[in-house]
Amino acid sequence: MSNSWEFIIDFTWLSLFIAVAAVLKARIPALQRFIIPTSMIAGFMGLIVGPEVIGWISFDLDRLGDLVYHLMAIGFIALSLKERNVEKKPGMLNAGMFIVSTYLVQGVLGFGILLILMMTIYPDIFPGVGLLLPLGFGQGPGQAYSIGTQWEQLGLTGGGNLGLTIAGIGFIWATVIGIILMNILTKNKRYTSNSTSNAAHHDKVIEELEPDEIPLSDAMDKLSFQMALIGVIYLVTYLTIVGLGNVLTPLGTYGETFSQLLMGFHFIIGSLYAILFRWILNRLRDKGVHLEHKPNNYLLQRISGFSFDYMIAASISAISIYALREYAFVVLLLTTVGGAATIFFTVWLCPRLFPQDKIPNVLGFYGMLTGTISTGMALVKAVDPKFKSNATENMVMGSATAIMFGIPLLLILNIPIVGYVEQKPILYVYTFFALVAYLFMLMTIMHFRVKKQK
């Protein structure tokens, strides 16, 4: 079969899983009783019948990863093009500080646990392994594998697989534990107050279309124009990333690393361009400029919903579980403590920072900070199927500002590496206290911002 069919075959298998999952969700009472996104059910079906478990279907995991990568950008560009409710503007600074503070909580626990293990039962272990916890949980498999692979050059055997292992278990925390957390929170009145979403009836939402939102056709179909807008913005995003990469790569290792980082945050760049485009259109409208075509909220919502459904199904189908066999004790200890701490920290702090839409924000950030942004979107979509809350904007804009707040953290990550190479264990202690000090600083700032909001 021609290689041109491979991508389409993967897409058709995902389509079959989503269709079967929708039927099962409608007919099995147990699935109706719990809030489980249909796309998640489809993803686990793909994982089970795929090459990692039964092996009935030979998915190419890298190709599924590419599908997730691009659908994520398309979905977020579509969401960002929608008319924005100024009363639900994203808390960019709060979200960015919350994301980085969660990294720090995971880092303090992970690095602290490895220091204890190094002083007791694992004297030869590199304590920096504990820092793979925030990389695997918070940043996802790509960053954890990249850093772990770099550490292999320092003598850490199987560092890349270790990063994937932690990220894989993080995905389990994000999905399985995330669904349990979702069903607990939706029954708690403390979290359902002041929410724009209705989790209890999310499967019975009736779409009431305004006359001007019905997808009619003229010289160009409205859906075609929405896709054309998304395509143009994605093209500008690609050209921006490539252009910056050409400028940064010759600057050396740091420039090359930052260029790769931009590739991973393509959906943020695309969202920012979409927001800028929408702002320009609104200014033109205010000045009385008539446009023959314009972004359509209804169609953009449908495009984003389609993108996220397939993205979620593909991302779960692409999980590699073979990496979970190694480093059993260390990994299970790290991920169990890290996962539990992430739940408590998110459930405690998120409602204080984002009191308007508590449940979508708690679930979205929890899913993102244990898995990837796609698992965060899956949990948000389950309780807020029309994305009426500000959770998705907080996640995207927060990821952008987290880059700024994350710079000191990137500098701290290099300290234990220097200590390991130069055989200076005292630098491990400096690393631990640097993580604690930065966490304390961010928590203090957020405390005063919450008081000011009240």
Q: Is the pLDDT of residue 291 over 80?
A: no
- Looking at per-residue pLDDT, the higher value among 51 and 323 belongs to 51
pLDDT of residue 293: 76
- Work out the average pLDDT over 152-156: 67
The full DSSP string for 2-38 is: -THHHHHHHHHHHHHHHHHHHHHHHH-HHHHHS---H
pLDDT of residue 202: 40
Helices (H), 265-389: 266-286, 297-317, 328-353, 358-370, 373-383
Q: Is residue 55 part of a domain?
A: no
**pLDDT per residue over 57-88, tens digit each?**
887 777 887 787 788 889 888 888 877 654 44
List the single range of 24-28, 182-186, 278-282, 319-323 with lowest mean pLDDT: 319-323
Q: For residues 376 and 395, is the Cβ–Cβ distance under 8 A?
A: yes
Q: Is residue 443 part of a domain?
A: yes
pLDDT of residue 442: 92
pLDDT of residue 160: 66
- Work out the average pLDDT over 29-46: 79
Q: 107-140 in b/e burial notation, b at 16+ Cβ within 10 A? A: bbbbbbbbbebbeeeeeebbbbbbbbbbbbbbbb
Q: Is the pLDDT of residue 2 over 60?
A: no
Distance (Å, whole) CA 349 – CA 355: 10
The total of structural domains in the chain comes to 1
- Work out the average pLDDT over 386-400: 78
Q: Is residue 214 part of a domain?
A: no
- Work out the average pLDDT over 205-211: 42
pLDDT of residue 252: 66
- Looking at per-residue pLDDT, the higher value among 264 and 131 belongs to 131
**pLDDT per residue over 334-369, tens digit each?**
999 999 999 999 999 988 888 888 889 999 999 989
Domain range spanning residue 331?
Answer: 88-200+302-453
AA letter at 188: N
Distance (Å, whole) CA 415 – CA 130: 13
- Work out the average pLDDT over 160-187: 82
- Work out the average pLDDT over 172-196: 79
Rounded to 10 degrees, what is the CA torsion of 414, 415, 417, 419?
Answer: 160
Q: Is residue 290 part of a domain?
A: no
Q: Is the pLDDT of residue 213 over 60?
A: no
Q: Is the pLDDT of residue 422 over 90?
A: no
Q: Is residue 308 part of a domain?
A: yes
Q: Is residue 61 part of a domain?
A: no
pLDDT of residue 5: 79
pLDDT of residue 345: 95
Q: Is residue 30 part of a domain?
A: no
Q: Is the pLDDT of residue 295 over 80?
A: yes
Q: Is residue 446 part of a domain?
A: yes
Q: Is the pLDDT of residue 119 over 90?
A: no
- Looking at per-residue pLDDT, the higher value among 152 and 391 belongs to 391
Q: Is the pLDDT of residue 235 over 60?
A: yes
pTM for the whole structure: 0.69
Distances from the Cα of 6 to the Cα of 1, 20, 306, angstroms: 8, 21, 20
